[in-house]
Structure 1
């Protein structure tokens, strides 16, 4: 009787262990898939590719139905000269910052007060910078090698983004300062490192001619009502710096530019200062 009871208990224990193992397998697989799966992709044709962003989550609907989406082609046939826009009135200052690998891009977050830019009388405070490669916006159909977005936010939580376009050439000085930290967070999603004090004025540069239009965020949830300012002067970035940025993000995000969106009769303005008079 004792031997039979022992065998019954042994069989019950084995069955329980097997059940636990079977339950653990799908849970482990689900965790593995979650760890490696991105919510959205830049690869056309994928289930979570750009053409499907608007259907992935209800709060991302604007990505598919919005009429003022970004990026767009800045074709000069549609651009209107508006000198009344005025110079970009910014007052940036050096501030503490961190660099973050978000998987789909590399972001420099300003942890301190980095100053602001004033647009139409409203101050928009600089919150973060991040890079896309190739450029998201195009000029007369041409896309360049990299685009830097300087993301600002007003006290009313409205967004204004300054975009700078780059082509391969001489190294970008601002990125040079980020290179050691880029190597530290390379291929490590959600990895964050303090970079100390940075001066965002170096990222902005001094160019004064720019395009202006109303658009959206270029990643989900594709929120509209964003004031876009694209600096006309094309800057340079080295092949090495471009490679660092591309290899730092998730494998499928090495090219992280959203496809061009329909302009839908939006106004595209350009500001250009009056030419200097010669006496």
Structure 2
């Protein structure tokens, strides 16, 4: 047995230590609750100078090696000097339909995930079913060196797990009707990583629009693991988004963060453009 005085002192020391640990833990827990983010560094980021920035993605994990060593990486610059007209591509054949959806704050972007059958796009006779859509700001693909304010990616997958992405560019202007319907949910997920909210039925045609002229090339995912063999379709017609809507998207993830990967090397890839007969613009 130890003397009573020593026992009391030991008990008080334990209580003091517990109080110190608790006082340190509470602010951290509150910060995580308020921001939705752990204090730990993200697996990958977009800051060019960071150790987990785009130039280092291929070094972070072995399965992300394509980010650094791939020869068919995206995004690229859609330069007029390398684009060839290919009417044989034909009109973009899609059969989208309204479906139940969930909006998700991934921590890097805002995603609308389709939980029901939202339809598909047909490319070379293969159906690619729409899985989700998300936004990047500023735009990732550039057109003759011009970078627009935002880019939408509609991500599709075939029965054999091949990926096709339809992209839409935006510039600041009038508000976007599709995003307008999502604005209340953007506020609900703001600053809370992995937060999900059911948004009911969403019609993907509102995001796709009705543009008929498009660019086509083979590239990759624009975020890790940067898998290659992705069929890219970038619509030529540029839509508008309001400053307020773009701010809502940025605030939902991180108000100061851009989430666009820099342009990648062409490596002699072909880029085609489809334009219907008699149509010179969009």
TM-score above 0.5, yes or no: yes
User: Is the counterpart of residue 68 in structure 1 residue 72 in structure 2?
Assistant: yes
User: Is the counterpart of residue 145 in structure 1 residue 149 in structure 2?
Assistant: yes
Q: Which SS does the other structure have where 2:94 is aligned?
A: strand
Q: Counterpart of 1:266? A: 269
- The correspondence for 1:80, drawn from 58, 77, 84, is 84
Q: CA–CA distance in 2 between the matches of 1:203 and 1:48?
A: 31
Q: CA–CA distance in 1 between the matches of 2:21 and 2:192?
A: 29
Structure 1 residues 157 and 241, CA, compared in 2 at 3 Å: closer, same or farther? same
Task: Give 1:215 shift.
Answer: 0.5
The gaps in structure 1 that reach 5 residues or longer are none
Q: Counterpart of 1:6? A: 4
Structure 1 residues 251 and 58, CA, compared in 2 at 3 Å: closer, same or farther? farther
Equivalent residues of 1:186, 1:249 under 8 A apart: yes
Q: After TM superposition, list the pairs within 5 Å mapping 1:107-186 onto structure 2.
A: 107-186=111-190
Task: Give 1:250 shift.
Answer: 2.6
Q: CA–CA distance in 1 between the matches of 2:246 and 2:14?
A: 54
Q: Counterpart of 1:243? A: 247
Q: CA–CA distance in 2 between the matches of 1:63 and 1:18?
A: 50
Q: After TM superposition, list the pairs within 5 Å mapping 1:149-228 onto structure 2.
A: 149-228=153-232
Q: CA–CA distance in 1 between the matches of 2:20 and 2:226?
A: 41
Q: Which SS does the other structure have where 1:55 is aligned?
A: helix
Equivalent residues of 2:157, 2:164 under 8 A apart: yes
Equivalent residues of 1:136, 1:259 under 8 A apart: yes
Task: Give 1:240 shift.
Answer: 1.0
Q: CA–CA distance in 2 between the matches of 1:228 and 1:111?
A: 23
Structure 1 residues 23 and 166, CA, compared in 2 at 3 Å: closer, same or farther? same
- The correspondence for 1:230, drawn from 231, 234, 238, is 234
Task: Give 1:39 shift.
Answer: 1.5
Give RMSD over aligned pairs.
2.5
User: Is the counterpart of residue 275 in structure 1 residue 271 in structure 2?
Assistant: no
Q: Which SS does the other structure have where 1:225 is aligned?
A: strand
Count of residues in correspondence between the two structures? 273
The gaps in structure 2 that reach 5 residues or longer are none
User: Is the counterpart of residue 105 in structure 1 residue 109 in structure 2?
Assistant: yes
Q: CA–CA distance in 2 between the matches of 1:275 and 1:145?
A: 30
Q: Which SS does the other structure have where 1:77 is aligned?
A: helix
Task: Give 1:18 shift.
Answer: 8.2
Q: CA–CA distance in 2 between the matches of 1:117 and 1:170?
A: 28
Tell which deviates more after alignment, 56-65 or 123-132: 56-65
